[in-house]
Chains A and B, each alone.
Chain A
């Protein structure tokens, strides 16, 4: 089946630094990717929809200037957490739909665990 990868799988950083997370669709093209955030013992909450070649669409309450999304190609979307603070510590998961084959299937990456000290 289709595979979505994320890098890094985990990252620890100091407060105030910026962290970039990459999401790649490995064997299919994704015009749209999605970024979710999951706090401990909670569900996945959609942060934003990443559109190839255009601006991302952010969910209500998600700061677009803090969570920068770039979807530069049909296989790569990046999420940059700018000036990270301890409250940004979370599990970030990306996903993509393979509209070329099975439009109803959304594939998920393995997630990136961010710890901000």
Chain B
């Protein structure tokens, strides 16, 4: 079963703009991870944030985690056409398999 929801389900922005995607989940977690998936391709791991962390950066990516609200956000700054993909959050409870959200389809228009 799926852990939670991402919103928006789809997002279309102009190149250079920032894109923000949100993820909510239901249970306590060990960590939360964000993945990217280009159409018809495999998953690319973007970033992992642990339950005791509140914010993490990686290049143009910024992830926040609010465990009290059971939510996380992924911000992509200065978006590029190559960022067009589906983005999924996945919650990790430890040794159990990752549980994925429904994903956000991002389109960056050049």
Which residues of A come within 8 Å of B, CB atoms?
A: 32, 34, 36, 41-46, 49, 59-60, 91, 93, 95, 97, 99, 103-106, 108-111, 113
Residue of A nearest to B35 (CB): A108
Chain B residues with CB under 8 Å of A41's CB are 105
Question: Can you list 15 pairs linking A and B with CB atoms under 8 Å apart?
Answer: A34-B97, A34-B98, A42-B102, A42-B103, A43-B2, A43-B102, A44-B88, A45-B100, A46-B97, A60-B1, A97-B95, A99-B95, A104-B92, A105-B48, A106-B98
Chain A residues with CB under 8 Å of B88's CB are 43-44
Q: Is B78 an interface residue (CB 8 A)?
A: no
Chain A residues with CB under 8 Å of B48's CB are 104-105
Q: Is B77 an interface residue (CB 8 A)?
A: no
In which size bucket is the chain B interface?
20 to 34
Whole-angstrom distance between the alpha carbons of A66 and B97 in the complex? 21
The reply to whether A106 and B2 contact each other, CB–CB distance below 8 Å, is no
Residue of A nearest to B88 (CB): A43
Whole-angstrom distance between the alpha carbons of A91 and B94 in the complex? 25
Whole-angstrom distance between the alpha carbons of A103 and B30 in the complex? 11
Contacts A42-B103, A103-B95, A104-B94 aside, 19 further interface pairs with beta carbons under 8 A come to A32-B95, A36-B100, A42-B102, A43-B2, A43-B100, A43-B101, A43-B103, A44-B43, A44-B100, A45-B100, A49-B97, A59-B1, A91-B40, A95-B98, A97-B95, A103-B94, A106-B92, A110-B42, A111-B42
The reply to whether B40 and A109 contact each other, CB–CB distance below 8 Å, is no
Whole-angstrom distance between the alpha carbons of A91 and B40 in the complex? 8
Residue of A nearest to B96 (CB): A49
Q: Please provide the chain B residues from 65 to 96 with a CB less than 8 Å away from any CB of chain A in the complex.
A: 88, 92, 94-95
Min Cβ gap A6→B in Å is 9
The reply to whether A45 and B97 contact each other, CB–CB distance below 8 Å, is no
